[in-house]
Amino acid sequence: MNGMMSKWPVLLTHSVVQEDLDDEGAVRDDIVESWIATACSAYLDRCVVLHEFLERSGVQLCRHTELPTKRLLGRPTSVITTAGVTEAHPRAFTIAVRLRPVGGDQETPLNHTCGVRLEDPSAGEVLLLTDDIRDELIALAHAAEHFN
């Protein structure tokens, strides 16, 4: 592996099967999208305080992501996907996702971000993150145990 290794709260490994590839042998865009969505969801599943806030308030979690294009992973035999929050702003936070190809023609990881905010559907406004939610994001980062 090349590059700098950092710690992440979530680590998932995906075996690449023939159905994941396009006609030229590259990982299909929809597969990459699903791996990113799964990593973000796995991270958010760890956010107990956030989920309690959502249940109490009726606020919705809104995610925004611009998806990478295929070919950036090459033709791996598996992909290690990690996720963790790298930025917390007053009204949003950013989940970083790293996809590291293994066993193929490409070793460079693909870094991606997903913006998350809390929206009140009745008022149409984006809410401030509470101190408890921000503290939970920080605690998850400090407890990260996976390297990628």
What are the pLDDT digits (tens) for 73-128? 888 999 999 999 999 999 999 999 999 999 988 888 899 999 999 999 989 899 99
* pLDDT at site 70: 57
CATH number of this structure's domain 8-147, picked from the four choices 2.40.128.50, 3.20.20.70, 3.10.129.10, 3.40.50.150: 3.10.129.10
Q: What is the mean pLDDT of residues 60-84?
A: 85
* pLDDT at site 29: 87
Select the more confidently predicted residue: 71 or 25.
25
Q: How far is the C-alpha of 91 from the C-alpha of 130, rounded, in Å?
A: 9
What are the pLDDT digits (tens) for 127-140? 999 999 999 999 99
Closest C-alpha to 72, from 36, 107, 96: 107
Domain boundaries, the chain: 8-147
Distances (CA, A) of 124 to 28, 59, 73, 76, 127: 35, 10, 38, 43, 10
Closest C-alpha to 111, from 54, 39, 52, 46: 39
